[in-house]
Structure 1
Amino acid sequence: MLLKALTLFFTVLLISFTPAQAADNVERPRLMKKPIPAPSFTLKDMDGKTHKLEDYEGQVAVVNFWATWCPPCREEMPSMERAWTQLQKENIAMLAINVGEDADTIFTFTADYPVSFPLLLDQDSSVIKEWPVKGLPTTFVLDKQGRIVYRVIGGREWDAPELIDMLIELQNR
């Protein structure tokens, strides 16, 4: 009896969490009930330009923490670039904060994964310590007031219509 119950449980569990379903991310994203202020940062991008979080107040911002050695980070980066091509015309910011690596490592990475949105350098990992990051990648969506309203741990297809719609709706509020 117990064996049948366990078999049924694991069969349902396996069916419920198939990789294809996880990769599709078809579920409508749910915003946090109580937004929290995003910790401030000042970081340089690959070109040496300084970016402050405060520079993005008044617009929705996607802030992604990642590393080149992280397989889910590498998998989601092309979808972030595709999303960026749709979102930049909506005045939505996309920032990817690399954790602990140098510009040469990231430059080499972008040969295989080209991106046109800012890649910021947190080489000493001081910024990631201030944010509620649980693993890489972790991505936050900030509202126009600079508050965290959505957090995702793990990779996503950022160009999925559900995520694009959520970001545009936030920007239009």
Structure 2
Amino acid sequence: MTLRNPLAASFAVLGLTVLGLAPPATAADLPPLAHSLTMQAPKPAPALKLTDLDGKPHDLAKLRGKVVLVNFWATWCPPCRREMPSMERLKQALAGEPFVVLAVDVGEDADTIEAFTSQLGAVPSFPILLDTTSRAMQAWKVAGLPTTYLVDPRGRIVARAIGGREFDHPDLVRVIRDQLRK
């Protein structure tokens, strides 16, 4: 069989890629994790009330006085998977500081998340919150995964990042420490 229309062939390849029939991307295929957050004029953070993998409720409003890193992610997202260990290293580096990491998994169940975290070697010590309905994702206007927000001690979003980050990189840690000093 020969394809007489090269445009049709291109669309066929594109279609297979979109359907997920193309070979999966490997870590080597992905761009490096970034080291920055985009600072913005402070604005009130939307409500965030979710339960974690153990069923414990978490409410962002009760974390006033602390700097909070809110990361929206999913286990099927390659950059999300790659940045997870650096979030744990960041949390450990800032232990004893008024700093909290909240990892908000979007649209997945606890079994799926636990299967992923068991592959990490060390299960994250920060809460993994369940946004099974994606309502929090919508309220926070998340357009893609991963998306991360930095919330200041007054409950305002002061920075955002779309895409994977190396959270324990000195440039990023400096931004967080600046918020801790305010």
TM-score of Structure 1 vs Structure 2, range by shorter chain: 0.7 to 0.9
Match in the other structure for 2:76: 69
Task: Tell me which residue corresponds to 1:161.
Answer: 170
Q: Is the 8 A contact 2:51 2:58 kept in 1?
A: yes
- The ranges of structure 1 where at least 4 consecutive aligned residues each deviate by more than 6 angstroms after the TM superposition are none
Check if 1:115 corresponds to 2:134.
Answer: no
Name the larger-Rg structure: 2
- Structure 1: where are the runs of 5+ without partners? 1-18
State the percentage of identical aligned residues: 49
- Quote the residue 2:134 is aligned against: 125
Q: Mapping of 1:84-95 within 5 angstroms? A: 84-95=91-102
Using the size of structure 2 for normalisation, the TM-score is 0.78
TM-score normalised by L of structure 1: 0.82
How well do the aligned residues superpose, as a CA RMSD in angstroms?
1.6
Q: Distance in 1 between matches of 2:128 and 2:103?
A: 5
**Match among 14, 33, 39 for residue 31 of structure 1:** 39
Give distance in 2, aligned partners of 1:55 and 1:31.
Answer: 23
Give the structure with the larger helix fraction: 1
Identify unmatched segments of 5+ residues in structure 2: 1-27
SS at match of 1:63: strand
Q: Distance in 2 between matches of 1:24 and 1:134?
A: 18
1:122-172 CA distances to partner (integer Å, 9 max, x unpaired)?
Answer: 011111110121200000000111111100000000000111111111011
Number of residue pairs the alignment of both structures matches:
151
Partner Cα separation in structure 2 for residue 62 and residue 78 of structure 1:
14
Deviation track 1:8-29 (CA, whole Å, cap 9, x = no partner) reads xxxxxxxxxxx9xx636456x4
CA separation of 1:172 and 1:110: change in aligned 2, threshold 3 A: same
Which range moved further: 118-127 or 83-92?
Answer: 83-92
For 1:156, what is the secondary structure of its paired residue? Answer: coil
CA contact (8 A) 1:60 1:170 kept: yes
